[in-house]
Amino acid sequence: MSADHAGERTPLVDLQCEAHTYPDGTVGMHDVDFSVHHDEVVALVGGNGAGKSTLLEHLNATLVPDEGELVVGGTAITEDNKAYARREVGFVFQDADTQLVAPTVLDDVMFGLQNYGVSGEEAKRRAREALATVDAAHLEERIPHYLSGGEKRLVGLAGVLVLEPSVVVLDEPLAGLDPERSLLVADRIRQIHREGISVVVSTHDLEFAAEIADRVCVMAAGNVVGSGTPREVFYDDALLERANLHPPAAVRIARNAGLDTSTQPVTEADLVTLLADRAAASGTVRAGSLDCSGGD
Ligand SMILES: Nc1ncnc2c1ncn2[C@@H]1O[C@H](COP(=O)(O)OP(=O)(O)OP(=O)(O)O)[C@@H](O)[C@H]1O
């Protein structure tokens, strides 16, 4: 959906945080007003220490504001109903070890379901289904602790999806993943979105953000300093500079090659289309003969 219309509907998650101060006195974020709406993928971008993880961890009440409020599905979250926030907002941590607790992968994915009273056989069936969704069915008998970083991330995602949350939050989902697994995670995010689950990801990979996001929020020094569609954000040089970010490759290549960027290409597929159109216009290449396997 268009980010411009995002504010017209009741958000799934609505966070107002005047400040979050860590025990050592560091202010992790301040003056943040952040919502997640139905049917959207939001990418949170920003330099190291900008406050992305701090913000994400507020979305399911892992962290709470010094002053402010978290509202999930219209319900204000307090000490007493944090479990509701955790169920509605599934969190895939960057450090997957924090969420893998059981002796085998299958047990681990079943764990949350069993906590909610789902019986053994039913929990097993649903856990297997969730593992298959993230292409990790072959790992079910493995010991979580010994999985590779990328495998842990996929199993963590299965453990979240199996609980059928309304929002999935992923902190740096591509960190440490090989290119094949990165494409798989991007695909899974699109699939989760198609199934009606909203997604929030933090990432340093702006190409990935351009590929998957409906809305990009830019953080700097603990604050959300700008947001918009990928095109709006990735052609806003002043905003990117403020957050110490460089535009995604498609933007840089289009500019460096002196292409007409009035269509604001932000993805590889956009760039290929622009090149194909230009080649067709100059009569050198038949339109459509260039291909881009990365796009959808
Ligand atoms: N547990 C903590 N105790 C003290 N300070 C913290 C803690 N966690 C984060 N911070 C600080 O809060 C600020 C925001 O950190 P955060 O991890 O949210 O940033 P980030 O944008 O996710 O960074 P990165 O991209 O490097 O992961 C930083 O100054 C960081 O040092």
Q: Answer with the residue of higher pLDDT: 31 or 289.
A: 31
What pLDDT was estimated at residue 149? 80
The full DSSP string for 211-251 is HH-SEEEEEETTEEEEEE-HHHHHT-HHHHHHTT----HHH
What pLDDT was estimated at residue 291? 54
Q: Which atom of ligand 1 is least distant from the CA of 222?
A: 14
Q: Which atom of ligand 1 is least distant from the CA of 47?
A: 25
C-beta neighbour count of 58 within 10 angstroms: 27
Please, which pLDDT band fits residue 286 given cuts at 50, 70 and 90?
Answer: low
CA distance 121 to 142: 19
Q: Answer with the residue of higher pLDDT: 99 or 111.
A: 111
Phi-psi region of 260 (alpha: psi -120 to 50; beta: other; left: phi over 0): beta
Ligand 1 mean position, distance from CA 54 (Å): 6
Q: How far apart are the first and last CA of the chain?
A: 17
Taking a C-beta distance cutoff of 8 angstroms, is the pair 223, 30 a contact?
Answer: yes
Instruction: Please report, as a single letter, which amino acid is at residue 28.
Output: G
Query: Tell me, what's the ipTM?
Result: 0.99
Ligand 1 mean position, distance from CA 146 (Å): 27
Sort 196 into a burial class: Cβ within 10 Å, 0-12 / 13-18 / 19+. exposed
What is the rounded (10 degree) CA torsion for 240, 265, 268, 255? -70
Ligand 1 mean position, distance from CA 87 (Å): 24
Please, which pLDDT band fits residue 294 given cuts at 50, 70 and 90?
Answer: very low
- What is the pLDDT averaged over residues 259-284? 89
Ligand 1 mean position, distance from CA 53 (Å): 7
Q: What is the pLDDT of residues 241-261, one digit of tens each?
A: 999 999 999 999 999 999 989
What domains are there in the chain, each with its CATH number?
9-246 (3.40.50.300), 248-296 (no CATH)
Q: Which atom of ligand 1 is least distant from the CA of 172?
A: 27
Sort 251 into a burial class: Cβ within 10 Å, 0-12 / 13-18 / 19+. buried
Q: Whose CA is nearest to atom 25 of ligand 1?
A: 48
Q: Answer with the residue of higher pLDDT: 10 or 206.
A: 206
CA distance 68 to 33: 9
What pLDDT was estimated at residue 284? 62
Maximum distance among all Cα pairs of the chain, rounded to whole angstroms: 67
Q: Whose CA is nearest to atom 9 of ligand 1?
A: 28
Q: Answer with the residue of higher pLDDT: 101 or 51.
A: 51
- What is the pLDDT averaged over residues 1-21? 74
Which among 159, 153, 141, 151 has a CA at the least distance from the CA of 104? 141
C-beta neighbour count of 87 within 10 angstroms: 17
Ligand 1 mean position, distance from CA 243 (Å): 15
- What is the pLDDT averaged over residues 174-184? 86
What pLDDT was estimated at residue 185? 86
Which among 192, 150, 199 has a CA at the least distance from the CA of 170? 199
Ligand 1 mean position, distance from CA 244 (Å): 16
**High-pLDDT (> 70) share of the chain, %:** 93
C-beta neighbour count of 83 within 10 angstroms: 12
CA distance 133 to 161: 9
What pLDDT was estimated at residue 246? 96
Please, which pLDDT band fits residue 280 given cuts at 50, 70 and 90?
Answer: confident
Ligand 1 binding pocket, CB closer than 6 Å: 22, 24, 26, 28, 46, 48-54
Q: Which atom of ligand 1 is least distant from the CA of 55?
A: 18
Q: What is the pLDDT of residues 120-166, one digit of tens each?
A: 899 999 999 999 988 899 999 999 999 888 788 889 999 999 999 99
Q: What is the pLDDT of residues 180-238, one digit of tens each?
A: 888 888 888 998 899 899 999 999 999 999 999 999 999 999 999 999 999 999 999 99
What pLDDT was estimated at residue 289? 54
Q: What is the pLDDT of residues 65-110, one digit of tens each?
A: 999 999 999 999 999 999 999 999 999 988 777 777 889 999 999 9
Q: Whose CA is nearest to atom 10 of ligand 1?
A: 28
Instruction: Please report, as a single letter, which amino acid is at residue 215.
Output: R
3-state helix, strand, coil in the chain (%, to 5): 45, 20, 35
Ligand 1 mean position, distance from CA 44 (Å): 14
Q: Which residues pair with 59 in a beta bridge?
A: none
Ligand 1 mean position, distance from CA 24 (Å): 12
Q: Which atom of ligand 1 is least distant from the CA of 171?
A: 22
Order of strands across the sheet that contains 89-92: 89-92, 167-171, 198-202, 41-46, 215-220, 223-228
* Residue of 21, 45, 54 with the most ligand 1 atoms within 8 Å of its CB, for mutation: 54
Residue with tokens 């453990």: 159
Distance of CA 111 to the CA centre of its chain: 23
